[in-house]
Structure 1
């Protein structure tokens, strides 16, 4: 194999694929990135961890077609440190790949292309397109609520399903729930309910930053593939049953509190400075047209802050985990956040208004 490619093009593509590669691998080939120079004047780069795979083709000058695999992170670091604007010449033969750029020359050990595993997609019967902006919104407004508890592996992803003629995405860790509802795209009717793993969500979000138009989504009950321009991301899905999250979305919370989300977030952040790391509990005393935030810490002391609010129901005192509350408030884009309360022990509903695509449920804490 022999090809020449511009450093910036190679670096960008390598950045997309190498982040899939785990730092520690018991299987040596999984530490490598597959590079395939093709007769059509493209260089294909591919990396996998057996659950997730990124495959991208970029333009290159191909003198001799062929393929090899090189250590992903080492190769990425080399290309990152090469001079800007340089042309990178890649030549692979007899178990080595030579990298030449300007006066720099590297010889890397390679592993055979035939040893490189590729995820078999099988049939992907459901196919539809989503605007990249919609997919970004779905991820940004839900992924903070994904669980990291491995015993509840079925919560370690974003649950995507079709209901009420809408496409819905939800994530929960048992303490908070985030759900986004968007119009169902053509082709998504009858799709299976799927749970997209956390790592796939993270890699997809990085790739979406560079996609302007639409993303092609193809899926079955076990695999999902995203077509993102020159890159294709393929992932296995979580094999589990997501709980019926609709049961925890409160419908009878009759006490409506309205606040400015930015001043609410800043106030919670300030008083939480002295909260103990373990509980991170912030108490909210809700009164006529004001909210008093307070934190009491045995080690540090006390903090209080008063916020103007729009509220006309009975007084209520309720406690929340400050970090969970801040995560939700950071995703509120409008000038108002609605906090629907019932009592100090019941789940609380937060959203911008009843027309907003995202809603959040937060379980209270005893304070």
Structure 2
């Protein structure tokens, strides 16, 4: 194999693959008339990224991912030439040479691409996913709560929860398709960060994939059966409050400084306003009142401040509607005027001390 590639483009492709694959993974580089392909896989995951290149001699090699990524990051050059030299892959520059050992083909299994079932706009998908995946647990013994459920029909629905909150986003598909999978949230978020333009959704037995021009990821899926907003009772709403999400978030940040260690704040609902108040023996006390449209009863829930801020951040720049249920039932947050992406955020209340 002998190929010349833009150093920054190749570095971006190798780094993207490295972030998705295990630390000791191998990368397979394949050069042909179409350019250079960077690919890697383990038993559960397959990644593939394209890079423009001038191929002098076709070929395919496997090399260690980590040293290749680190070397490319530190290069201060526009182009790099990759040449197989015996049992090494050499990275040649005008004034330097770096050589990596070639690995056996068995270190890099062949790509697997499940069938495409539909397509979605990449920007819209990534934006919705950032919000939804933020509610997934980062480290939980139950894999169910570390994933994002993707369900497709006429629309694409994304769902995630860490048991204290749940976010559900509904966004348009470019074509109808059948899909119901649970994908690890961290992997899906990193993949969506790389995706550009139209993103293909792929599904096969026990597998899910995302593809876009120049990139593909395929992964084994988790059990999606139990993660559903249908399991959350929402028929007991007795208070509805509508106000500016940014104004409420700013008030939560200010008043939260004076809250006790758990940072639990109560939204005291009045006829035309909500009041936030907190006190702490060593820092003092604070209260702030905001105008709001209020209907129904006067149920006043308490929330952990950081969870409430996460929920309000999802509605930045909008007016948000809080549908409040009595007792320890979930509060439902929605945009007062939903846009292309319909987002619903379920937030569990806390016991006020």
TM-score (norm 2): 0.90
Match of residue 33 from structure 1: 27
Structure 1 residues 217 and 313: alpha-carbon distance in aligned structure 2, compared to 1, 3 A threshold: closer
Q: Distance in 2 between matches of 1:240 and 1:253?
A: 28
Corresponding residue to 1:237 among 221, 227, 249: 221
Matched-pair contact (CA < 8 Å) for 1:20–1:53: no
Match of residue 196 from structure 1: 183
Match of residue 305 from structure 1: 288
The reply to whether residue 350 of structure 1 matches residue 343 of structure 2 is: no
The reply to whether residue 176 of structure 1 matches residue 165 of structure 2 is: yes
Structure 1 residues 187 and 35: alpha-carbon distance in aligned structure 2, compared to 1, 3 A threshold: same
List per-residue Cα deviations over 1:150-204 (Å, max 9, x = no partner).
32212221112246x543221111111111123455341xx24211211321222
List per-residue Cα deviations over 1:267-319 (Å, max 9, x = no partner).
11122234455x23112111122222123446644332222222244433321
Superposition deviation, residue 366 in structure 1: 0.3
TM-score (norm 1): 0.87
Structure 1 residues 245 and 90: alpha-carbon distance in aligned structure 2, compared to 1, 3 A threshold: same
Match of residue 22 from structure 1: 22
Matched-pair contact (CA < 8 Å) for 1:146–1:173: yes
Match of residue 254 from structure 2: 270
Match of residue 271 from structure 2: 288
Matched-pair contact (CA < 8 Å) for 1:56–1:232: yes
Structure 1 residues 119 and 3: alpha-carbon distance in aligned structure 2, compared to 1, 3 A threshold: closer
Q: How does 1:117-266 map to 2 (within 5 A)?
A: 117-118=109-110, 120-121=112-113, 124=115, 127-162=117-152, 165-183=154-172, 185-188=174-177, 191-208=178-195, 211-212=196-197, 214-266=198-250
Matched-pair contact (CA < 8 Å) for 1:317–1:344: no
User: Once structures 1 and 2 are overlaid, which stretch shifts more, 280-289 or 154-163?
Assistant: 154-163
Match of residue 90 from structure 1: 82
Give the secondary-structure state (helix, strand or coil) at the position aligned to 1:251: coil
The reply to whether residue 78 of structure 1 matches residue 71 of structure 2 is: yes
Give the secondary-structure state (helix, strand or coil) at the position aligned to 1:136: helix
How many equivalent pairs are there?
350
Q: Distance in 2 between matches of 1:274 and 1:78?
A: 48
Structure 1 residues 315 and 127: alpha-carbon distance in aligned structure 2, compared to 1, 3 A threshold: closer
Corresponding residue to 1:335 among 314, 318, 322: 318
Give the secondary-structure state (helix, strand or coil) at the position aligned to 2:175: coil
Match of residue 365 from structure 1: 350
Matched-pair contact (CA < 8 Å) for 1:195–1:242: no
Q: Distance in 1 between matches of 2:284 and 2:86?
A: 68
List per-residue Cα deviations over 1:190-226 (Å, max 9, x = no partner).
x242112113212222113xx13x2121212411122
Task: Give the aligned CA root-mean-square deviation in angstroms.
Answer: 2.3
Structure 1 residues 315 and 115: alpha-carbon distance in aligned structure 2, compared to 1, 3 A threshold: closer
